[in-house]
Chains A and B, each alone.
Chain A
């Protein structure tokens, strides 16, 4: 009687163990499926392949920048130097436009003044002489 009851408890223990193992394996399976789904969702959201297809250089630059930050290069003197250089390069077209405008206006002024000088040489009174005469 005691033998059969012992077998029964062993069976129960084995069954419980099997159930636990099955439960763990099913949980692991679920976790794996969820992880796969999450990865595929992330892939769909980021859509890296099509982004690289559209902007290859920009994506490579972004990857280099991410690597640079991960490498600990963010708060360094090199970064400060790079930022300063970037600002200068970005400001270059603006400065160029301003200089061109300045040069254009000064050339126009020079042309106007030289034109009035030639009119003086030809005999017509200049602006200043006219005003002083009035």
Chain B
């Protein structure tokens, strides 16, 4: 078995190991995205005000440094 085949086999093993985990992470991320966007769409004022406040605080901290 030459080096290329060994590499291919290793890559396949890694893919088999990490594949399900990556799929699960993708699914979780997609779930979080849909929940977050629906939350923002339900309460636009609160979210914008919160974002404004966060930006203000960060700007305040940045201006002190």
A residues at B contact (CB < 8 Å) = 48-49, 52-53, 56-57, 59-61, 63-74, 76-79
Contact = CB atoms under 8 A, between A and B. Distances in A.
Interface string B4-46: 0000000000000000000000000000000011001100110
B52 A67 contact: yes
A64 B56 CA distance: 7
A68 B44 contact: no
B54 A67 contact: yes
Contact of A71 (B37, B47, B62, B65): B62
Contact of A63 (B41, B52, B57, B60): B52
A73 B48 CA distance: 19
A86 B36 CA distance: 25
B52 A64 contact: yes
- Which of the listed residues A52, A71, A76 has the most CB atoms from chain B within 10 Å of its own CB? A71
A43 B16 CA distance: 53
A63 B54 CA distance: 9
Given A56-B40, A63-B52, A67-B53, A73 B59 contact: yes
A15 B40 CA distance: 56
A110 B65 CA distance: 53
Contacts of A69: 55, 59
B40 A71 contact: no
Nearest to A73: B59
